[in-house]
Amino acid sequence: MGTVFTIYLYAADRAEANAVFEVAFDEVERLDQTLSNYRPSSELSRINRLAAREPVTTDPEVFGLLQSALGFSARTHGAFDITVGPLMRAWGFFRGEGRLPTDAELQAAQEKIGFDKVLLDPSRRTVSFAIPGVELDLGAIGKGYAVDRVAEVLHEAGVKSALIDSGSSTVHALGAPPESEGWKVQVPDARNRRQTLSTILLRDQSLSTSGSYEQCFEIDGRRYCHVMDPRTGWPVEHVLQATLVAADSTTTDAMSNAIFVLGPEKGREALTQIPGAQAVWVLEGGADVSQFQWPSLGTRPLATSLNPG
């Protein structure tokens, strides 16, 4: 999945902890082998190779995840879209550091994207593409799903307290540490990742952050980030970071990406459909931090204007 998974847990002794770790990381490896578009042998890669030619029957797990992904796309009117692969390639963000595409390259990529081009048949559990060139990229939801699966594995193993971290961008808190109300999680400042924007307590909740700082490049003073707006074909501008808290990591992983694309106003509208959702955006140009029912513990005043640079 192109990231690092870290698990913190409480167990009776080291032997028990090691046994649980092994089972949990086996699950991460299984999902990477299934969902990665970097692995030619993965189930996702098989679907990408065949689905434009014929309906592809897949297993219930992958089919269910695709249903969830398309549901998020419909809910956000296309702000979240797992078909953005051609756009990522056109902008040089797939195995690269970014480039400005030509108008022809951009048009060709846009013709191949759109969640409505992915056709699912629940009665036959098949996936097909409406046109050639469509491809699925689960990078904006797969890590969150993996975190949820690890949380289930740990729960089934009897673990009462654990924190699962996927690349520091998605975390899930299972229970709480002994004699604590929850796991203390710090949200970094988009302008200086060494500083903390907010600290919250998580307990049986997930948190995901989407940021423009992961991959970006600059041409003639204009900054382009790796987060694409599938509706326009261009990288999102004027938003530096969006962080979302909700019940599960599949939701926070997908929807943190969506609300980054949507921005605060439309993002807040989308979040009204998610029970208990809490979010915060950091905007470009020294704009105020925008909040949606944000549960900060107050390490830094969230309403303070951020100074550029």
- Domain of residue 224 covers 171-292
What per-residue confidence (pLDDT) applies to 302?
Answer: 44
Q: What share of the chain is helix, strand, coil (3-state, %, to 5)?
A: 35, 25, 40
Do 175 and 73 reside in the same domain of the chain? no
What per-residue confidence (pLDDT) applies to 290?
Answer: 84
Q: pLDDT by residue (tens digit) across 194-244?
A: 788 889 999 999 999 999 877 888 888 888 898 999 999 999 999 999 999
Do 107 and 194 reside in the same domain of the chain? no
Q: Please give the radius of gyration of the chain, using alpha carbons only, rounded to the nearest integer.
A: 20
Query: Can you tell me the distance from the alpha carbon of 209 to that of 255, in angstroms, rounded to the nearest whole number?
Result: 10
* Percent of the chain residues topping a pLDDT of 70: 94
Q: pLDDT by residue (tens digit) across 150-171?
A: 999 999 999 999 999 999 899 9
**Residue 53 burial (10 A CB sphere; 0-12, 13-18, 19+):** exposed
Q: pLDDT by residue (tens digit) across 41-53?
A: 999 999 999 999 9
Q: Does residue 68 have a pLDDT over 90?
A: yes
What per-residue confidence (pLDDT) applies to 148?
Answer: 98
What per-residue confidence (pLDDT) applies to 95?
Answer: 66
Do 205 and 270 reside in the same domain of the chain? yes
Residues whose CB falls within 8 Å of the CB of residue 121, separated by 6 or more in sequence, listed in order: 55, 128
Do 197 and 263 reside in the same domain of the chain? yes
CA end-to-end distance (rounded Å), the chain:
32
Question: Is residue 264 situated within a structural domain?
Answer: yes
**In Å, what is the CA distance from 269 to each residue of 67, 76, 192, 217, 253?**
22, 9, 29, 30, 18
Q: pLDDT by residue (tens digit) across 2-42?
A: 789 999 999 999 999 999 999 999 999 999 999 998 899 99
Q: Does residue 104 have a pLDDT over 70?
A: yes
What per-residue confidence (pLDDT) applies to 96?
Answer: 66
For residue 144, which of 266, 34, 31 has the smallest C-alpha distance?
31
Q: Does residue 301 have a pLDDT over 90?
A: no
* Virtual torsion, Cα 284, 287, 140, 258, nearest 10 deg: -120
Q: Which residues pair with 118 in a beta bridge?
A: 129
Do 90 and 203 reside in the same domain of the chain? no
Do 62 and 125 reside in the same domain of the chain? yes
Question: In this structure, what CATH number is given to the domain that contains residue 83?
Answer: 1.10.3980.10
Question: Is residue 33 situated within a structural domain?
Answer: no
Helix residue ranges, H only, the chain: 14-35, 43-50, 60-75, 85-90, 103-110, 142-156, 249-271
Query: Can you tell me the distance from the alpha carbon of 288 to that of 200, in angstroms, rounded to the nearest whole number?
Result: 19
Q: pLDDT by residue (tens digit) across 241-276?
A: 999 999 999 999 999 999 999 999 999 999 998 999
CB contact at 8 A, 134 and 112 = yes
What per-residue confidence (pLDDT) applies to 299?
Answer: 45
Do 110 and 212 reside in the same domain of the chain? no
Question: Is residue 198 situated within a structural domain?
Answer: yes
Do 124 and 175 reside in the same domain of the chain? no
Do 179 and 119 reside in the same domain of the chain? no
Q: Does residue 304 have a pLDDT over 50?
A: no
CB contact at 8 A, 190 and 196 = no
CB contact at 8 A, 185 and 205 = no
Question: Is residue 6 situated within a structural domain?
Answer: no
**What pTM was estimated for this model as a whole?**
0.91
CB contact at 8 A, 239 and 260 = yes
Residues whose CB falls within 8 Å of the CB of residue 88, separated by 6 or more in sequence, listed in order: 94, 137, 226, 228
CA 197 to chain centre: 20
Do 180 and 278 reside in the same domain of the chain? yes
What per-residue confidence (pLDDT) applies to 269?
Answer: 95
**Residue 184 burial (10 A CB sphere; 0-12, 13-18, 19+):** middle
What per-residue confidence (pLDDT) applies to 220?
Answer: 86
11 C-beta neighbours (distance < 10 Å), count: 18
Q: How many residues does the chain have?
A: 309
Number of domains in the chain: 2
Strands 126-129 and 118-121: antiparallel
What per-residue confidence (pLDDT) applies to 297?
Answer: 53
Question: Is residue 212 situated within a structural domain?
Answer: yes
What per-residue confidence (pLDDT) applies to 308?
Answer: 28
